[in-house]
Amino acid sequence: MSTTRRRRPALFALAAVAAGGCLLLAWWQWTRYESTAGTFLNLGYALQWPMFAAFCVYAYFKFVRLEEAPPEYEQNESGKVTAIPDGLLPDRPKAVTPAGDDDPTLREYNAYLAGLAQSDPDKNPDDRTTR
């Protein structure tokens, strides 16, 4: 039996205790909401804790699934991992392309800035620092 399968009952117990604790906290927040001092904040927490419990169960099953079929990694000659598989991490966001020269508002604004730069007699055109 592999070491990961021997640890599975402990992992299951941890997930069960965590989910049970979340459900107990949800019940406690619900009783606080129903009391005379209860607020809508208690109601929000009472609805939020079951979602945490569901996440504990989801994470356990996701871990077991990854344990059964781990992703394949590219390795070099020495056996070290050189690249992670595609789709394991989310894609990086793409940079937004700036507006081209065909934008009349941008051309007008750049011309305005150039006119301001030329009309300032105290500034050296090569000095681009701000003071």
Highest mean pLDDT out of 8-12, 65-69, 89-93: 8-12
For the chain, how far is it from start to end, CA to CA, in angstroms? Answer: 71
Q: pTM of this prediction?
A: 0.53
The Cα 125–Cα 131 span in angstroms is 15
pLDDT classification of 97: cutoffs 50, 70, 90 = low
The Cα–Cα gap between 57 and 59 comes to 5
**Alpha-carbon dihedral angle through residues 60, 63, 68, 73, given to the nearest 10 degrees:** 180
Q: 120 pLDDT band (50/70/90 cuts)?
A: confident
Whether residue 59 has pLDDT greater than 80: yes
> 18-53, pLDDT tens digit by residue?
999 999 999 999 999 999 998 999 999 999 999 999
